Amino acid sequence: MIQLTIPDAEAMEDLGARLGPLLDAGDLLLLNGELGAGKTTLTRGLGAALGARGAVTSPTFVLAREHPTASGVPLVHVDAYRLATGRELDDLDLDYGHAIVVVEWGAGKLDGVSESWVSIDIERPRGAGGVEDVDVDLDADEPRLVTITGSGPRGVELEAALAANV
> Which of residues 143, 147, 151, 161 is near ligand ADP by CB under 6 A?
143
- Sheet strand arrangement including 64-67: 2-6, 144-151, 117-123, 28-32, 100-104, 75-79, 64-67
66 binds, among Mg ion, ligand ADP, none (CB under 5 to 8 A by kind): none
13 binds, among ligand ADP, Mg ion, none (CB under 5 to 8 A by kind): none
CA distance 49 to 159: 18
CA 130, 133, 134, 135 torsion-angle sign = negative
Nearer to Mg ion, 27 or 79 (CB): 79
| Residue nearer to Mg ion on the CB measure, 62 or 160 | 62
Q: Specify the residue, 39 or 67, whose C-beta has the smaller distance to ligand ADP.
A: 39
36: partner contacted, choices ligand ADP, Mg ion, none (Cβ within 5-8 A by kind): ligand ADP
Sign of CA dihedral 68, 93, 105, 81: positive
114 binds Mg ion, rule: CB under 5 A: no
Helix or strand run (H / E) with residue 30: strand 28-32
Q: Round to whole Å and give the CA distance between 123 and 146.
A: 6
Backbone torsions φ then ψ of 27, nearest 5 degrees:
-80, 145
The minimum distance between CB 157 and Mg ion, in angstroms, equals 27
Q: Where does this chain bind ligand ADP (CB under 6 A)? A: 6-9, 12, 33, 35-41, 58, 104, 138-144
Q: Where does this chain bind Mg ion (CB under 5 A)? A: 39-40, 58, 104
